[in-house]
Structure 1
Amino acid sequence: MFPTGTVHDDTVTTLLFSVAVLGALLFAGVLLRLGLRFLRRLFLPAALIGGVLGAVLGPYGLELFPQSMVNTWATFPGILISVVFAPMLIGTRLPRAQETYRLVMPQLLFGYMGDLLLIGIPLLIGGALLTPLLGANTMFGTIIEVSWPGGHGTAGGMGPVYSDLGWNSGGDLVLASATFALVFGIVVGMVLINWGARRGHLTQFNHGCSTGQQPDIIPGANRDSSGSVTLSKDLVDNLAFHSALVALAVLIGWVLQYLMEFLVPGMPLFPLAMIGGAVVQVVISRTRLGAAVDLRTLRTLQGWALDVLVVAAVASIAVPIIVENAVPLTILLAASALVTVGFFAWAGPRLFRTDWFEQAIVNFGTLAAVASVGLMLLRSVDPELNTVASRAYALRAPFFSPVLGGGLITALLPTLAATYGPATVGGIALAGVFLLYLLARVLRMWTTPRLAPQPT
């Protein structure tokens, strides 16, 4: 039912040592990012750099770290992803759809259509080509949705799901795919930005196409707080209180997982922990403690869990599995890259009437990698956030993130593909894209793109 077995002293000591080494790798990633200029230009986060360093020093590289330690690291992502998802709906209120309809609906249409394309096309390629001709697993096509919009966090957390479904290689492949997607999203995103600048599509055109990247070590005057103290320290420490809220959300998720086991066997914990967070929010908002919830503190907890998750996940990648599946993985990545760029160019100027390039580029970065890459690309073209893109993108999050791009459907996708087959699930996803296209037409949100004047 619930994991209530005894954890012995030597196990706890081993766990602590493994976490300490991960912390050292993360710190090394910070030093490398600060010391090597090309890593900064590529916007590679310290967690990813530290994870790659761990893989280089592991059993498939210099063999400094033993396989037993790497195996311990491999268990962390499946646990930490629940900590990342649990606070998502705590302390938040859904925006009123009627007030933000014109701003949010194009963002939702673009996000859902693009995400469903990255589900449908890879699954159809997997079912029609990779499985029958190359012997790939029937869930092979699901790795794009899990690793591209989902990012390293979701990819790392989904490893146990693939293993439970009988595909042990899935976890390593989604992590490799997520790493490629991160670099692809940044590099190709900057290429698209320079193309948009030359074509006159940027509203805030600045001829230099500055990246808008802030210093790695932020000056004192520009530093933001990572959280506010909302309760007296005589009562409880601020971080401890918010950690307790996350813990309650995870516990509720565990109960939901147990209850759902009779209906949906193998349901992962992390999306249910997010629902648990919604339950916590509903209850606590009716009490005096509702005013004590600080979003920045919750985001700090999420950020900590995500950084450690990424280091552990990347450091524990099994390199031989990547090499063994190089051909089908390359085909899937290339096809997904073409789909993402093509959808950006096709749907962007047709769905967004205002600041189309800025609104489309933030979604491109999110589809190709993660939300942080999308926001980085947006800051590159709109450093002062003067366009509507940042507000529209933020408002769409409560209606999108719980569902796709690492949400509930993403979590269920491998199970659906294994149960009903990649062709069926992929066909349904593409049918969803077509229905959303028709909806955009009916709502008169699909328009003829306006040609931008060429810069002189």
Structure 2
Amino acid sequence: MFPTGEVSDDAVTTLLFSVAALGALLLAGVLLRLGLGFLRRLFLPAALIGGVLGAVLGPHGLGLFPQGMVDTWATFPGTLITVVFAPMLLGVRLPRVRETYQLVAPQLLFGYMGDLLLIGVPLLLGGILLTPFLGADPMFGTIIEVSWPGGHGTAGGMGAVYGDLGWNGGGDLALASATFALVFGIVVGMVLINWGARRGHLTQLGGGSPEGQRSSDIVPGDDRASSGSVTLNKDLVDNLAFHGALIAVAILFGWVLQHLLELLVPGMPLFPLAMIGGGAVQAVISRTRLGDAVDPRTLRTIQGWALDVLVVAAVASIAVPVILDNALPLVILLLASALVTVGFFAWAGPRVFRTAWFEQAIVNFGTLAAVASVGLMLLRAVDPELRTVAGRAYALRAPFFSPILGGGLVTALLPALASTYGPVAVGGVAVAGVAVLYVLARVLRLWTAPEPERQPA
């Protein structure tokens, strides 16, 4: 039922050495980003840089790292993704819907419609064209939802899920897709910002560029934020150990859920259930004296560490031959998804958002095309002081969106659904969901005619 078997001393030592090597690659990524200006201008994270370096030094590159070590790294993402997901609902208090409806409803509408399009269109394309004519796996279209809104972390973690469903190359293709999406989101996002400035769509016309806001990756002393607060006396327990224990209980709760659901949903991955376990732990602990001791920043720190190591391990262990063997269907899928993302931004943005439409749409574009950090980077490029409602509205939508799509529960179940019911059926349901949301938006008057363009002064 549970993995309680003995692990040998040699296995633990091998594991420690593998983790140490990943740490060295992560540090190398930091040094490369600090030393090479173009990497900073591209906003490539150190974890991705370190992972690429590991792949270059691996068996498909220079051969410094042996295949056995790379195979060990390949097992990390499927485990670490559980540590990333478990604290998502810990320390979270959902905002009151009535108070935030005007801000959250348009954000949720745009987010859900855009994400469902990135599920439906790739799956339909895969089921109608890529699978019958190019021999792609029926789950091929799912890699866009997994890797674009989900990012490298979800893509790496889902590799084990694809493997359990009989498609061993799914994780590697998702990682390649996530890398393309990261560059696409940044480059095309900046192109859209320049277009928006020329057309007079920016509310804060003097927004500036990301490069001007941050001249160095080393944060000055006066601007350094804390990564967590000590909420319990040291003679009771260390702060990091306490929050690590909360995550551990959430994961154990997820394991119990996985065992109970095994008869109904065979092959259910652990990480979304660990997230539910985190919500259960939060519901219980919030009713005790320890409720005030839960520090979200400490939880995010643990989550961030796991995500960085996950990305390094996933990218460093990527199977290059699998990508080359699937190059043509992958390129077709990526180009189609890029057109969908840009088209949806231009079509829905001015119709869904009544105030600061460009700022609210661009942060969602970055999130759909890559990850939340890219969306926020693009938002800071057009609204550096966060004077518009975009930042607050985007933050308020997170509890109602992130646990479900863009790396949430539906994302985790998508490969199994496509494998069971077929890509055309699942893709059709997703596109139908977009149509239903559009009709609902018209009924609730959340969909309006775009305002006339204004020229910048």
Q: TM-score, normalised by structure 1?
A: 0.99
Distance 1:198 1:315 in 2: 41
Q: Secondary structure at the match of 1:205?
A: coil
2:191 alignment partner in structure 1: 191
1:257 alignment partner in structure 2: 258
Q: Secondary structure at the match of 1:88?
A: helix
1:335 alignment partner in structure 2: 336
Distance 1:24 1:228 in 2: 28
The Cα of 1:213 is off from its aligned counterpart by 4.2
Contact 2:352 2:447 in 1 (8 A): yes
Alignment of 1:323 onto 2:342: no
1:204 alignment partner in structure 2: 204
Q: Secondary structure at the match of 1:98?
A: helix
Distance 1:90 1:212 in 2: 35
Q: Secondary structure at the match of 1:454?
A: coil
The Cα of 1:454 is off from its aligned counterpart by 1.0
2:61 alignment partner in structure 1: 61
Distance 2:348 2:4 in 1: 50
Structure 1 outlier segments of 4+, above 2 Å:
207-215
The Cα of 1:363 is off from its aligned counterpart by 0.3
The Cα of 1:198 is off from its aligned counterpart by 1.0
Please show how residues 373-384 of structure 1 align to structure 2 within 5 Å. Answer: 373-384=374-385
1:271 alignment partner in structure 2: 272
Q: Which amino acid aligns with 2:322?
A: I
Q: Which amino acid aligns with 1:174?
A: A
Q: Secondary structure at the match of 1:55?
A: helix
Contact 1:211 1:379 in 2 (8 A): no
Instruction: Specify every segment of 5 or more residues in structure 2 that has no aligned partner in the other structure, as ranges.
Output: none
Q: Secondary structure at the match of 2:303?
A: helix
CA RMSD between the two structures: 0.8
Please show how residues 22-421 of structure 1 align to structure 2 within 5 Å. Answer: 22-206=22-206, 208-211=208-211, 213-214=213-214, 215-421=216-422
Q: Deviation string for 1:316-358 (max 9, x for gaps)?
A: 0000000000000000000000000000000000000001000
Contact 1:197 1:207 in 2 (8 A): no
Contact 2:207 2:382 in 1 (8 A): no
Contact 2:250 2:281 in 1 (8 A): yes
Q: Deviation string for 1:271-306 (max 9, x for gaps)?
A: 000000000000000100000000100000010000
The Cα of 1:437 is off from its aligned counterpart by 0.3
The Cα of 1:451 is off from its aligned counterpart by 2.0
2:431 alignment partner in structure 1: 430
The Cα of 1:210 is off from its aligned counterpart by 4.8
Distance 1:326 1:207 in 2: 39
1:12 alignment partner in structure 2: 12
Distance 1:297 1:371 in 2: 19
The Cα of 1:54 is off from its aligned counterpart by 0.2
Contact 1:107 1:393 in 2 (8 A): yes
Pick closer, same or farther for the CA change 1:421–1:212 going to 2, 3 Å.
farther
Contact 1:193 1:381 in 2 (8 A): yes
Q: Deviation string for 1:385-442 (max 9, x for gaps)?
A: 1110010001000100111000111000000000000000000000000000001100
Q: Which amino acid aligns with 1:141?
A: G
The Cα of 1:452 is off from its aligned counterpart by 2.7
Distance 1:171 1:73 in 2: 13
Q: Percent identity?
A: 82
The Cα of 1:455 is off from its aligned counterpart by 1.8
Worse overlay, 204-213 or 426-435:
204-213
Distance 2:54 2:451 in 1: 49
Q: TM-score, normalised by structure 2?
A: 0.99
Worse overlay, 420-429 or 203-212:
203-212
Q: Secondary structure at the match of 1:248?
A: helix
1:443 alignment partner in structure 2: 444
Q: Which amino acid aligns with 1:424?
A: A
